[in-house]
Chain A
Amino acid sequence: MPRLKRPLLVFAAALVLAAGLHANGLPRVQLFTTGGTIQSKGADRQKLMEYNAGKVTPEELLADLPELAAIAHVGFTEIANSGSGSMTGPILIKLANAINAWLAQPEAAGAVVTHGTTSLEETAYFLNLTVRSDKPVVVVGAMRPFTAVSRDGPFNLYNAVRVAATPEAKGFGVLIMLNDEINAARDTTKTNTYRMETFVARDLGPLGYADSDRIVFYRRPTYRHTFRSEFDVSKLTDLPKVDVTYAYQEFDGAAIDAFVAAGAKGIVLTGRDADAVKRGQEKGVVFVQSDRKGAGRVMTSERATERGTPTADNIPPHKARILLRLALTVTSDPAEIQRIFNEY
């Protein structure tokens, strides 16, 4: 090798590393696995339900997709290997801290998280509030297990890595990738128990698509997220206990009293009983009003301000719970919590 070219090569290598590229020129993406249907095996290939969660290892996932080697250098970190239902505050914090540590490295291009679909949107929204980087973080799942015919997992994972490796995907907040659609963590909800187009951002639609010709974006979220978020979980071991009530005719507030007795610091209301709320507030419990419909905003109003119950905008109750848990790590003032619900 001619001597003159060597400093140039060293310089080029440094540039490559700084741009989040592996030594072989490919972007470096880390896969954080938590389990879910995407990592599940069924007894036979027609089993689309009653499969056992947590059977496919990260190594198997990656070995199943040799095509990834052409688009990214993919490493992995196993956070958990269980279904959506086993996700807890401590695991969420561990996940956020691991992603933050990875993305803080200059050579990291992005992160992909595997997750069960049932509570995927809650974890994605949590990360949207706690990842302190503008690098792409893509949460991915599958509606059909690893072993099924016409399984959706592999293409979802392939697309998730593509998006995580794409510099144009920076700054959109945490993304959800299934069914070719790039969705925003805050606005997207699982709308169907089994169909593959289950993740939908009602009213707002997807941000873009991972199509064969290109990754394309049409929308950018305007609310605060990731690198513009005020929440820091690096020193926490768990999150405040927050529960959710469901609204129905003759809802009588017994659930509210029981949550308060069990030590809830906050309660997201869809079902509301004025007396039970007052009793809870006297004990310092913070209440946020959401709604069970799954679309449309709960508006700010003089009446809600008087009641001391901030409103959750169009954040559905289970995600309002995530935001309230984080809000309670910094304040219990209803006005301040309303500001937080207005901004995130």
Chain B
Amino acid sequence: MGDSPISVGPVHCDRSAEERFESEAMPHLNDLFRTALRMTGERGQAEDVIQEVYLQAWRSFENFEAGTNCRAWLYKILFHCVSHHRRKWFRFPLLKEKEEFLEANLVQPDSVSEHVTDSEILKALDEIPAEFRSVVLLADVEEFAYKEVAEILSIPIGTVMSRLSRGRALLRKRLIQVARSYGIGKSVQGDK
């Protein structure tokens, strides 16, 4: 799924646009939904976004250059739709740039405990600012290359790199806090 190859083969002219769309765009639906869910925080809204993504993708499918990266193209549409809906929903915390920067530059040697559950990981992810969350999702979960992430989000590659390392550090910090609240993971390093 997430790690499926992202380039598509050459176009076969005998296939209709519907058939090509079905074989090239539809297989990414579940991954797109999961990303949409993390970005919107609500399943209904995520489904709305996905419907919109596929409508837009179908409408501009003739402009999509066959043989190029369909998956990255769909993600670009997804983040375009998400940012559109974001303005509508006002649910995303604004980034406190300075504070986040300081936090992210600290090295956090504590280990994320294996006792932390998946839902706690998701909760921690959902709590980090959307700017970081989007980059972390694209690079870590969807395994896009930095160049592709930059293209999908329309930001410079340097920004991708700095957001990614801040985002990862923020996520880790939250996970460590969760682990500590259980009273575990405190003395992993034993260097207090």
Check if A and B associate.
no
